[in-house]
Structure 1
Amino acid sequence: MLLNNKWIIWFLILLITVIWGYAWVLMKASLQFMGPFTFSALRFGVGSLTLLIILFVMGGGVPPKKQLKHLIIVGLLQTTIVFLLVMYGLRFVDAGKSSVLLYSMPIWSSLLAANILKEKISNRKVLGLSLGIIGLFAILGWDVLIDQNPGKIFGELLIVLAALSWGGSNVYYRLKLKNANGLQVTAYQMFFGTVGIIIAAFFMEWGQPIHITPLSIYYILFTGVLASALCFAIWFLLLRVIDTVTATLPTLLVPVFGLFFGSLLLNEKLTLNIIIGSALILAGVIIPLFFRKEKKRLLVRQMLN
């Protein structure tokens, strides 16, 4: 099987990381063609349909009825709320900075897990959380004290709330859907989340102009088919052959690629506070994952060799 080759595994991980980072630029650029909610509805409509097709081709089938209400809740938290807030926030915030703020999600996941799941916060997690929070203040605090642009600050707070909602969906998933089929959960939560986005777009952006051009279609298809459906399908295939820690660590490069593509393609400025804050947030996320017990580190090495 091809997925037994470690170089193919790392290529696939790098591929989805680059695609997710590049998708931030397209999400920002899409706002010149349509409203943020309308784009999200089209993107995730295409993405959920593609993912459901992939699921049924792979024999995933329909989830049990008892899981439906939990899938709806996860869909609202992980897709509806997250991307409504992110897309609206992108009206005021650069794509690169937005990706960094959203990927503070592991910080909020850890805090929520400690309070709701009663997970013990180890010393390395405390250090990671502290660095991540300092990194957020380095980005947000600079804009509050120096820039003082109300629109930018409002947009940044929306994206932080999106990260909090994403973290909440992770905790709820562990409470109610931990043993469910991963690809099945992703497909159906995205479908239910898309319904919520469509409703929001109908009430908030009905009658607003939608410019359908080859470029806007490209944005929808890339973010819907590649960044949403295909990348998640690859993701869950990878999780069958490698552990979660090994798969998760490289995705921390997503905001790095988001910053790079935002600077390269949208001429977004990488100020010192963004660089310092981003480095602190990434360090805060990496430390709890990387500095694990020796047994787990040995297991990762064995799986990759």
Structure 2
Amino acid sequence: MNKRLLAILAALGATTIYGVNHTIAKGIMPHYVQPFGFIILRVTGAAILFWLISPLGPKERIDPKDYLRMLICALLGMAMNMLVFFKGLSLSTPINSAVLITTVPIVVLILSAVILKEKISGRKVLGIAIGLLGALGLILFGTEVRQDAPNIPLGNFLIFMNSVFYGSYLVLVKVLISKYHPFTFMKWLFSLGVLICLPFGYEEFMEISWNTLPPEAYFGIGFVILGTTFCTYLFNIFALTQLKASTLSAFVYVQPLVGIFYAVLTGQDTITTIKIVAGCFVLVGVYLSSKRPKRQVQEI
């Protein structure tokens, strides 16, 4: 099996795990674990796992000139995006989360144009406008009343900001991925993430009542640490070694399909008209903004 096919399978596996995560993580917050406390568990658990497997990779030193980029990537990809996503998910619903996360390719496209000076065609501009319109619709009109979703508009906005931070991370991390082994890169990135997130989540982490957590809460925490954090970041890092950031971000199309199906199947969320309409806008926008001319297909 060639590396490109493995990269595609890794990207597909990561986005499938993310799709299920919307419901599983929502079931833990905020009743058992507060969102920022959950992030401490995520980054600390993943950092430990990456340090444990790092001897399997080569011994590498980080070039001093990469320190700043490494810090910025940790801030965007291991801190800010996780903090706003879990806080937003605790305030919103799994389906809203799964739909809004599909704005990542649009963010990547915009940032690639700004940072990497990539050209944006008229079709892509139209796609960006339609996709952002759908996201804005969920943020402004997601007003259903649910006991486990106390502030859906704010939650939706924070989930959208997660797309902004994660999209920025995908664009900036490409340089480091081509330079360092994934084990080396991720152990340091998550270690920095622990230091950055600790001031935000320490108090909520200390409030976790471990003795009273039911088995399903332990399962959810384990799934988020091992699956949603360790495996997905490792999968995506490997995928980035073979695929462009814009190509990898396009796999987010699968996430709402998995997320909505799993949320409805488990009875954790319901489909509403605004979710359907906004979701269609977002998906059409992402499709138009990410679709490449036929002559560029072989370059992806």
1:95 corresponds to: 94
Higher mean alpha-carbon deviation, 120-129 vs 187-196, is at 187-196
Secondary structure of the residue that 2:60 maps to in structure 1? coil
Q: Distance in 1 between matches of 2:208 and 2:185?
A: 33
Contact kept in structure 2, 1:43 and 1:221, CA below 8 Å = no
Label 1:193 to 1:9 Cα distance change in 2 as closer, same or farther (>3 A).
closer
Question: Structure 2: which amino acid aligns with 1:122?
Answer: S
TM-score of the aligned structures, taking structure 1 as reference length: 0.82
1:274 corresponds to: 275
1:303 corresponds to: none
1:123 corresponds to: 122
Label 1:267 to 1:26 Cα distance change in 2 as closer, same or farther (>3 A).
closer
The Cα offsets for residues 91-142 of structure 1, whole Å up to 9 and x where unpaired, read as 2200221132233123233334434444332223202201211211332232
Contact kept in structure 2, 1:3 and 1:241, CA below 8 Å = no
Q: Distance in 2 between matches of 1:188 and 1:141?
A: 38
2:43 corresponds to: 44
* 1:25 aligned onto 2:23: yes
Contact kept in structure 2, 1:94 and 1:262, CA below 8 Å = no
Secondary structure of the residue that 1:87 maps to in structure 2? helix
Q: Distance in 1 between matches of 2:201 and 2:188?
A: 20
Q: Identity of paired residues, percent?
A: 21
* 1:65 aligned onto 2:40: no
2:141 corresponds to: 142
Question: Structure 1: which amino acid aligns with 2:78?
Answer: T
Contact kept in structure 1, 2:19 and 2:258, CA below 8 Å = yes
Count of aligned pairs between the two proteins: 295
Q: Distance in 2 between matches of 1:233 and 1:68?
A: 21
Contact kept in structure 1, 2:88 and 2:156, CA below 8 Å = yes
2:238 corresponds to: 237
2:163 corresponds to: 163
RMSD, aligned α-carbons: 3.1
* 1:261 aligned onto 2:251: no
Label 1:207 to 1:61 Cα distance change in 2 as closer, same or farther (>3 A).
same
TM-score of the aligned structures, taking structure 2 as reference length: 0.83
Higher mean alpha-carbon deviation, 99-108 vs 23-32, is at 99-108
Higher mean alpha-carbon deviation, 264-273 vs 149-158, is at 149-158
Label 1:124 to 1:58 Cα distance change in 2 as closer, same or farther (>3 A).
farther
How far did residue 299 of structure 1 move?
Answer: 4.9
Where do 5+ consecutive residues of structure 1 fail to align? 301-305
The Cα offsets for residues 184-231 of structure 1, whole Å up to 9 and x where unpaired, read as 444432321232222211245644545444322222222212222223
Where do 5+ consecutive residues of structure 2 fail to align? none
2:229 corresponds to: 228
How far did residue 49 of structure 1 move?
Answer: 2.0
Q: Distance in 1 between matches of 2:260 and 2:166?
A: 21
Question: Structure 2: which amino acid aligns with 1:121?
Answer: I
* 1:193 aligned onto 2:193: yes
The Cα offsets for residues 245-277 of structure 1, whole Å up to 9 and x where unpaired, read as 654433321122112212222431111221221
Contact kept in structure 2, 1:72 and 1:192, CA below 8 Å = yes
Question: Structure 1: which amino acid aligns with 2:26?
Answer: K
Contact kept in structure 1, 2:107 and 2:163, CA below 8 Å = yes
Label 1:209 to 1:228 Cα distance change in 2 as closer, same or farther (>3 A).
same
Question: Structure 2: which amino acid aligns with 1:98?
Answer: S
